Structure 1
Amino acid sequence: MAVQCRTQSGLRDNGEISDISAEGCCMRTRGIYLRVGARVVLRPEGMEGLTGIVRWVRSDLSGVEFDRPMYGPVVDHIVATHSSRAA
């Protein structure tokens, strides 16, 4: 799923999120390097911003824990919508 990422310091990048759950997601960015502990705002395509903290980083992938869990049915809808696009 396409996402725009903004760091607390104001850096922005477009990327992709995957493995989304109510508590967080995996994000791939190309233009910025994120560090563990960084605060971010993720703006997935068609949604309001989600705030969170980077918990792990491996190359261009990072794990983000959301500040507040997403509503379960919203997560289910996102997964169903985007997994059908991939298929």
Structure 2
Amino acid sequence: MAETLAFLRRSRRFVLAMPARLRLPGGPGEPVLVTDLSEHGCRIECWGMALAEGDRVILRPQGLEPLYATIRWIKGARLGLVFSRPLYGPVIEHLARCHPPYDAASERRLVA
């Protein structure tokens, strides 16, 4: 099991609270919160969309171009996304510096 986790988590992960929009191709965007980010994927909090594992989605963080991804897992309002193309490491580090770590207050700010 530990070897599997090590394989799946190929790169450094950053905990943050970054607002974004998520949509299915051709659909409207909904606000989400990115709470964990790495070169290969992210974890988001999503409250208003009916989604399923395997769905292809488009994530649009504030200030970035759209990121194409596939939903890897869903646990309640939390989703794990795998990016179609890895993100550039220095971009992730910059985003981690610009966005505070995730906490319950971050979720309330996004929903309010």
Fold match, TM over 0.5? Answer: yes
- CA distance in 1 between counterparts of 2:37 and 2:49 reads 21
Which range is displaced more, 10-19 or 46-55?
10-19
Q: Name structure 2 gaps, 5 residues minimum.
A: 1-17, 104-112
Counterpart position of 1:17? 34
- CA distance in 2 between counterparts of 1:11 and 1:58 reads 22
**CA RMSD of superposed structures (Å):** 1.5
Larger Cα-atom Rg = 2
- The number of residue pairs the alignment matches comes to 85
| SS, match of residue 99 in structure 2 | helix
| SS, match of residue 75 in structure 1 | helix
Cα deviation, residue 11, structure 1: 4.3
Counterpart position of 2:82? 65
Equivalent pairs: percent with the same residue?
35
Counting only pairs closer than 5 Å after superposition, residues 1-87 of structure 1 correspond to structure 2 as 1-8=18-25, 10-83=27-100
Structure 1 outlier segments of 4+, above 4 Å:
none
Which structure shows the higher strand fraction?
1
Cα deviation, residue 9, structure 1: 5.3
- CA distance in 2 between counterparts of 1:27 and 1:34 reads 13
Q: What's the TM-score once normalised by structure 2's chain length?
A: 0.70
Asked whether the 8 Å contact 1:12–1:32 carries over to 2, the reply is no
Q: What's the TM-score once normalised by structure 1's chain length?
A: 0.89
| SS, match of residue 19 in structure 1 | strand
Cα deviation, residue 34, structure 1: 1.7
Which structure shows the higher helix fraction?
2
Q: Name structure 1 gaps, 5 residues minimum.
A: none
